[in-house]
Amino acid sequence: MKTAKYRKRCFDQIKGITVNNKELAAEVEHLRRQLEAADQKRAELEAQNQNLVGQLNNKEQEKNK
């Protein structure tokens, strides 16, 4: 009888851990998507900045001519 109670307690603990792991995995995936979106936005902003720097350089070169 003691082994049956012990097994049930162990399986109950495993179920709780499994549920917790699934929740954490979902949260990690959500945060990973947010990070990818932020990285993409940052890359777009850097590209825009490079474009603006190029335009300013062109205007400066035209101004100096």
pLDDT of residue 16: 84
* 4-59 tens-digit pLDDT: 887 888 888 888 899 999 999 999 999 999 999 999 999 999 999 999 999 999 99
Q: Could you tell me the end-to-end alpha-carbon distance of the chain, in angstroms, rounded to an integer?
A: 96
pLDDT band at residue 65 under the 50/70/90 scheme: confident
pLDDT of residue 1: 63
Q: Cα dihedral sign for 2, 5, 7, 9?
A: negative
pLDDT of residue 64: 84
- Is 0.85 surpassed by the pTM of this model? no
Rounded alpha-carbon distances, angstroms, from residue 1 to 6, 7, 14, 31: 9, 10, 20, 45
